[in-house]
């Protein structure tokens, strides 16, 4: 019997607010342990939470981008469980009335949507962190850091609508791009800004019933999610095919050993004894706030890629690449607005700009500080009007990275301007022919290809500065003069 997998993903997204969810402590990553704490986020008795509205707006923005229902009223609930890095023994979360329900995440390509239905997105607080130092003599200790306690998390739950490890990969890639695009999270899985739990079950192909599912916890890289899901599908399939049954459980993925281990059998929702949080009123989203969020919602990446194809005549590939990040898409459009041809701008950005950013470990904002769109556009125009060959343009690009100033002036200063003085070039063409009598004879004997070699020689003589069409024409003229008279 053949089996197919059914996957659902729960992703915790750390929101990039200035302060924590229920107190004024700064929301920052890492740092000296326990330096950003107060009675509220430590969970001391009697401390009262006050809701950070910026976190509510972030979840609402995500909901709008998913085309979901963003509720005017939602309710915080206590989720009760013991956890060493959560001293108050409950987490403030949302249960039956989350901020966002429904909607879809598009994991397709530009013009080829693939909508994954979303169940809900709710807001909750993060816990602290247990550290197990592997220092000699310290191995039996657990240390607690509460800097992360109370950091706002959006938990986004998908419907079980994915079926392959690659689907899971595409889902997380699309979600990471979206949260960065919306500016609500840095989306960095390695820092724990996105943490994914995957629910995996299998069923006979053609069946509509769901099999027993297992949950893989705390996956912290997108590739890790793909590998862990593949391993779990293989484990369940082998188990069922050998006559066994899948027991509902929670698994941990060991990234280093690429292995799954069973952590515990799964608790049910009623084990958490959810009840409405008595210290917080219902969470409301004012109509005026909703209107502002709708009015300021950005054009989304895939829609923008489709527009780039139509408006700028780009290939689907180029349009998709430029829309991997909102900063990059904006950099492209500003370069075009500053007078560059769209195709040329897309080529420069897709190749030299992205490569340079990677080499220098810079993001778009930093690169923009060195080569703003107006400078890149000026470079494109110098190629378009024949001042620079594409080879010289590459040299000028390197100059632009190192020196400030106007690209046309820099090209001149560094002698990168194309030689289009026919008199000077004609003399060099003659010299090239004199130096290569054998090749000249071959050409005159009918070997048309020899011209390429001669053009190459002329380019070498002029250090690549000869205007190529002119160089070729001058060489042809000089060769014609050396042809034996006909008749």
Binding site for Zn ion (CB under 5 A): 23, 25, 38, 40-41
Task: Round to whole Å and give the CA distance between 61 and 183.
Answer: 10
SS3 331: helix
Nearest CB to Zn ion, comparing residues 145 and 352: 145
Compute the least distance from the CB of residue 144 to Zn ion, in Å: 15
Radius of gyration (C-alpha) of the chain in whole angstroms: 31
Nearest CB to Zn ion, comparing residues 150 and 350: 150
Nearest CB to Zn ion, comparing residues 31 and 183: 31
Compute the least distance from the CB of residue 18 to Zn ion, in Å: 13
Compute the least distance from the CB of residue 34 to Zn ion, in Å: 11
| Strands (DSSP E) found in 266-423 | 275-276, 283-284
Nearest CB to Zn ion, comparing residues 19 and 158: 19
User: What angle is formed at CA 208 by the lines to CA 199 and CA 68, rounded to 5 degrees?
Assistant: 60
Nearest CB to Zn ion, comparing residues 23 and 168: 23
- Whether 12 contacts 172, CB under 8 Å: no
* Nearest partner of 217 among 200, 236, 234, 235, judged by Cα: 200
Q: Which residues pair with 79 in a beta bridge?
A: 91
* Nearest partner of 8 among 178, 197, 254, 264, judged by Cα: 197
Nearest CB to Zn ion, comparing residues 40 and 219: 40
* Nearest partner of 224 among 202, 265, 194, 245, judged by Cα: 194
Compute the least distance from the CB of residue 220 to Zn ion, in Å: 25
Task: Round to whole Å and give the CA distance between 78 and 68.
Answer: 25
Compute the least distance from the CB of residue 11 to Zn ion, in Å: 25
Compute the least distance from the CB of residue 153 to Zn ion, in Å: 15
Nearest CB to Zn ion, comparing residues 41 and 471: 41
DSSP state at residue 209:
S
What lies within 8 Å, CB to CB, of 231 at 6+ separation is 253, 258, 259, 260
Q: Which residues pair with 264 in a beta bridge?
A: 250
First and final CA of the chain: distance in angstroms? Answer: 84
Compute the least distance from the CB of residue 149 to Zn ion, in Å: 8
Phi, psi torsion values for 434, nearest 5 degrees? -60, -40
Compute the least distance from the CB of residue 27 to Zn ion, in Å: 10
Nearest CB to Zn ion, comparing residues 41 and 411: 41
């Amino acid at each position: 019997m053949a089996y197919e997998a059914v996957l659902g993903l729960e992703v915790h997204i750390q929101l990039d607010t200035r302060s924590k969810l229920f107190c004024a402590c700064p929301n920052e990553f890492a740092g000296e342990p326990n330096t950003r704490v107060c009675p509220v986020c430590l969970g001391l008795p009697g401390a009262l939470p006050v809701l950070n509205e910026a976190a509510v707006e972030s979840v609402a923005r995500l909901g709008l981008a998913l085309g979901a229902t963003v509720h005017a009223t939602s309710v915080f609930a206590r989720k009760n469980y013991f956890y060493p890095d959560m001293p108050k023994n409950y987490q403030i979360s949302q249960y039956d009335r989350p901020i966002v329900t429904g909607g879809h995440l598009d994991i397709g390509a530009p013009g080829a949507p693939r909508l994954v239905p979303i169940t809900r997105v709710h807001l909750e607080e993060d816990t602290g962190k247990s550290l197990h130092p592997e220092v000699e003599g310290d191995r039996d200790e657990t240390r607690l850091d509460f800097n992360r306690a109370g950091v706002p998390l959006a938990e986004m739950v998908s419907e079980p609508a994915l079926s392959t490890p690659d689907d899971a990969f595409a889902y997380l890639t699309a979600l990471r791009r979206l949260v960065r695009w919306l500016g609500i999270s840095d989306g960095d899985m390695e820092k724990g800004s996105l943490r994914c739990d995957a629910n995996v079950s299998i069923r006979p192909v053609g069946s509509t019933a769901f099999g027993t599912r297992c949950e893989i916890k705390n996956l912290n890289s997108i590739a890790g999610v793909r590998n862990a899901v593949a391993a779990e599908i293989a484990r369940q399939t082998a188990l069922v095919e050998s006559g066994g049954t899948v027991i509902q459980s929670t698994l941990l993925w060991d990234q280093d050993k690429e292995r799954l281990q069973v952590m515990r059998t799964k608790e049910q929702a009623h084990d958490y004894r959810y009840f409405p949080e008595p210290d917080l009123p219902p969470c409301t989203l004012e109509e005026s706030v909703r209107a502002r969020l709708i009015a300021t919602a950005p054009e989304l990446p895939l829609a923008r890629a489709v527009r780039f194809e139509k408006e700028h005549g780009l290939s689907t590939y180029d349009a998709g690449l430029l829309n991997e990040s909102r900063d990059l898409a904006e950099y492209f459009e500003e370069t075009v607005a500053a007078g560059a041809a769209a195709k040329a701008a897309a080529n420069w950005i897709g190749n030299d700009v992205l490569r340079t950013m990677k080499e220098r470990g810079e993001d778009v904002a930093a690169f923009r500080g060195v080569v703003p769109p107006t400078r890149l556009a000026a470079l494109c125009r110098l190629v378009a009007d024949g001042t620079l060959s594409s080879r010289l343009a590459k040299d000028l690009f390197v100059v632009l990275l190192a020196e400030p100033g106007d690209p046309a002036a820099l090209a001149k200063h560094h002698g990168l301007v194309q030689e289009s003085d026919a008199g000077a070039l004609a003399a060099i063409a003659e010299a090239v022919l004199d130096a290569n009598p054998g090749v000249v004879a071959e050409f005159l004997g009918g070997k048309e290809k020899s011209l390429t070699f001669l053009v190459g020689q002329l380019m070498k003589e002029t250090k690549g500065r000869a205007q190529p069409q002119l160089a070729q024409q001058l060489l042809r003229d000089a060769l014609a003069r050396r042809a034996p008279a006909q008749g």
